[in-house]
């Protein structure tokens, strides 16, 4: 391994990883990423709630506890049994629309669920690091052109976003209260960091109300897809770009670098932010059968019009940078679905390899 980032990943050799939310879109890709690195991982999540689902297609069920993050006894037992070195916490109620219909479950799963993971980690001496996944939506979004930096004010308009902003406050408070950096190596051996990314795309996501899955499913049925808010601007990024950031961040914590125990943005370059309309046009280039109709949202739940993160800190200090630009990310995503729907092929492992080859060449 020559690339500096890849060199850092060697710290995972002979380590064990615990992934909450491993049955979900990002969690199943993260498990595939660790499979590529040859790192052992275990999972904790609810059963997948879509058919098909990426987790099932990858046949990753062998080392996974199917249980609720709110069941503290089962969670702590699973962590203790696994004896992991690091936990990646991705389990969440991750949909903005669902947070309008089920705010209580959204807050319980996201906020109390995060607290349960922190408690389970603190009680298990093998755990040296926890990377907690929040979102780009944690910022108080002023719909401004300026990209948000990690120290900007937290907020969150809707219940999903505010629950994740609460997670950020919780993580900071938990660190101050129990895992203070000044007590590292004397009173505790655990480092926490949070990771903020958004509008992540990639094959194998069948969640409702996500642009590219909606396009892929409609196209597979030879239907036109209805798309809302064509002018919304988003920092689209491939799931592997943000996961690579999470994994690098985890490597720094495992390497006992206390300066990394804080919040991090992982996003494409600001100039890569594209409108929904532009993304749809790129999708059509990758799969000619894609047919799109633009319209307004039918139910008027609030969605951010403009939300851009500043990724300078991750680039400067973590040595991370986006490897696939937005056009490549959309192409890889639509190609994944095209392969799946036209020939049943699951190209996850192949795409992880292509991604790592690109990182290696940087």
For ligand NAD, the binding residues (CB under 6 A) are: 21-27, 45-46, 68-70, 90-94, 109, 133, 135, 197-200, 207
CB within 8 Å of 193: residues ≥ 6 apart: 129, 130, 131, 132, 249, 250, 252, 253, 260, 261, 262, 263, 264
Give the nearest distance from C-beta 135 to ligand NAD in angstroms: 4
Q: Which is nearer to ligand NAD, 7 or 302 (CB)?
A: 302
* Nearer Cβ to ligand NAD (95/181): 95
Q: Which is nearer to ligand NAD, 1 or 169 (CB)?
A: 169
SS3 call for 292: strand
Residue 74: CA atoms inside 13 Å, Cβ hemisphere, count?
14
Q: Which is nearer to ligand NAD, 95 or 281 (CB)?
A: 95
Q: What is the closest distance, in whole angstroms, from the C-beta atom of residue 288 to ligand NAD in the complex?
A: 26
Residue 3 vs 325, nearer CB to ligand NAD: 325
- Between CA 75 and CA 77, with CA 76 as vertex, the angle to 5 degrees is 90
Tell me whether residue 202 or residue 360 sits nearer to ligand NAD (CB atom): 202
Residue number with the smallest Cβ distance to ligand NAD: 24
The secondary structure of residue 190, as a DSSP letter, is: -
Nearest partner of 245 among 40, 88, 82, judged by Cα: 88
Those residues whose C-beta lies under 8 Å from the C-beta of residue 117, and which sit 6 or more positions away, are: 20, 69, 75, 87, 89, 91, 130, 132
Going by the DSSP 8-state scheme, the letter that residue 315 receives in this structure is: I
Read out DSSP for 21-72? Answer: TTTSHHHHHHHHHHHHHT-EEEEEEPPP-SSS-HHHHHT-GGGEEE--TT-H
**Shortest Å distance, C-beta 227 to ligand NAD:** 16
Residue placing its CB nearer to ligand NAD in the complex, 45 or 346: 45
Shortest distance in whole angstroms from residue 290 CB to ligand NAD: 20
Q: Which is nearer to ligand NAD, 129 or 293 (CB)?
A: 129
Q: Which of 236, 255, 252, 263 is nearest to 332 (CA)?
A: 236
* Beta bridge partners of residue 139, listed in sequence order: 154
Q: What's the closest the beta carbon of residue 93 comes to ligand NAD, in angstroms?
A: 6
Pick the closer one to ligand NAD by CB: 210 or 313: 210
Phi-psi region at 314: left, alpha or beta (left = phi > 0; alpha = psi -120 to 50): alpha
CB of 151 to ligand NAD, least distance (A): 19
Q: Smallest gap, in angstroms, from Cβ of residue 247 to ligand NAD?
A: 14
Residue showing tokens 């850092």: 8
Partnered with residue 228 across adjacent β-strands are 295
Query: Token pair of 147, please?
Result: 């990209």
User: Which of 176, 171, 172 is CA-nearest to residue 188?
Assistant: 176
Tell me how far, at minimum, the Cβ of 157 lies from ligand NAD, in Å: 15
Query: Taking the complex as a whole, how short is the minimal distance between the CB of residue 60 and ligand NAD, in angstroms?
Result: 11
């Amino acid at each position: 391994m020559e690339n500096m980032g890849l060199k850092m990943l060697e710290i995972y050799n002979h380590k064990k990883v615990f992934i909450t939310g491993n049955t979900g879109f990002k969690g199943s890709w993260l498990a595939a990423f660790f499979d590529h690195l040859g790192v052992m991982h275990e999972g904790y999540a609810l059963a997948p709630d879509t058919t098909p689902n990426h987790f099932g297609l990858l046949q990753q069920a062998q080392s996974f506890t199917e249980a609720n993050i709110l069941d503290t006894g089962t969670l702590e037992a699973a962590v203790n049994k696994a004896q992991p070195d690091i936990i990646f916490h991705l389990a969440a109620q991750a949909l903005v629309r669902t947070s309008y219909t089920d705010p209580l479950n959204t807050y319980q799963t996201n906020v109390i669920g995060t607290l349960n993971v922190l408690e389970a980690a603190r009680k298990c001496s093998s755990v040296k690091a926890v990377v907690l996944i929040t979102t780009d939506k944690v910022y108080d979004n002023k719909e401004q052109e300026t990209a948000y930096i990690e120290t900007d004010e937290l907020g969150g308009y809707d219940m999903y976003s505010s629950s994740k902003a609460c997670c950020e406050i919780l993580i900071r408070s938990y660190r101050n209260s129990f895992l203070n950096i000044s007590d590292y190596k004397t009173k505790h051996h655990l480092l926490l960091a949070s990771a903020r990314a958004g509008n992540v795309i990639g094959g194998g996501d069948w969640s409702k109300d996500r642009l590219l899955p909606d396009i892929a499913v409609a196209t597979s049925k030879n239907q036109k897809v209805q798309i809302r808010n064509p002018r919304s601007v988003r920092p689209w990024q491939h799931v592997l770009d943000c996961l690579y950031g999470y994994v690098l961040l985890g490597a720094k914590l495992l390497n006992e670098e206390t300066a990394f125990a804080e919040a991090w943005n992982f996003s494409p370059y600001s100039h890569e932010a594209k409108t929904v309309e532009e993304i749809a046009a790129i999708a059509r280039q990758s799969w000619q059968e894609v047919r799109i109709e633009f319209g307004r949202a039918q139910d008027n739940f609030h969605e951010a019009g403009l939300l851009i993160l500043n990724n300078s800190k991750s680039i400067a200090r973590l040595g991370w940078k986006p490897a696939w630009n937005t056009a490549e990310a959309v192409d890889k995503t639509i190609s994944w679905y095209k392969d799946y729907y036209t020939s049943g092929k699951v190209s996850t492992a192949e795409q992880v390899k292509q991604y790592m080859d690109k990182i290696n060449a940087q």
